[in-house]
Structure 1
């Protein structure tokens, strides 16, 4: 279960990171809707990429995986604040990503 959820989280966050880093239309629309400057896109993509890579590195160095999972949970907590700040109630994607990040963190904390 630990490996499956961690790999799933890395794939989800890695895919999201790529869409931010290449400037795909969907994340661009989300950043605009949340009234964030577009220069945040590569920053957000880099944070997601660091989280995804950190989760995978965690298979070899467990504390890095745990820190990556914590970072992703914090990232998505911030995303919720930004959604609510602009009155967005479209939280399905957020809920999926957050649930997987929280599950990954719980599994990392209980695996050791």
Structure 2
């Protein structure tokens, strides 16, 4: 199970880090969707920091299991919140957030079962 966690966590960390980078640099593909669902532009850096911290936590979770579980759980909550934000404003372009929420849940389960 640890190898499965390592693979899933690494891929999820890459996705979260890439998303964080694109949010920090105000890539219109990422930030446009966030603004469309009502995220104030002043909060974008905070959300990017949360994604970056999740990515680092997943990688640190390869060594410290509790940190990996916390990071996976945090990212899962982040992306579930993103899905809810999309649904709240009836914006159904939520596939990326939903997929990342599911992958985060898988990382959490894998980290908890591989300890």
Same fold (TM over 0.5): yes
Q: Which runs of 4+ in 1 moved over 3 A?
A: none
1:10 is aligned to 2:43: no
Q: Once the 2 structures are TM-superposed, how far is the Cα of residue 95 of structure 1 from its aligned partner?
A: 2.1
* Residues 17-51 of structure 1: per-residue CA shift (max 9 Å, x gap): 10011111112211221122111111111000000
Match of 2:77 in 1: 74
Q: Distance between the aligned counterparts of 1:28 and 1:59, measured in 2?
A: 30
CA RMSD of aligned residues (A): 1.0
TM-score for the superposition, normalised by structure 2: 0.92
Q: Once the 2 structures are TM-superposed, how far is the Cα of residue 98 of structure 1 from its aligned partner?
A: 1.2
Match of 1:111 in 2: 114
Pairing of 1:39-54 with structure 2 (within 5 A): 39-54=42-57
Match of 1:36 in 2: 39
Q: Once the 2 structures are TM-superposed, how far is the Cα of residue 59 of structure 1 from its aligned partner?
A: 1.1
Match of 1:21 in 2: 24
Q: Distance between the aligned counterparts of 2:70 and 2:57, measured in 1?
A: 8
Q: Which structure 1 residue ranges, 5 or more long, are not aligned?
A: none
TM-score for the superposition, normalised by structure 1: 0.94
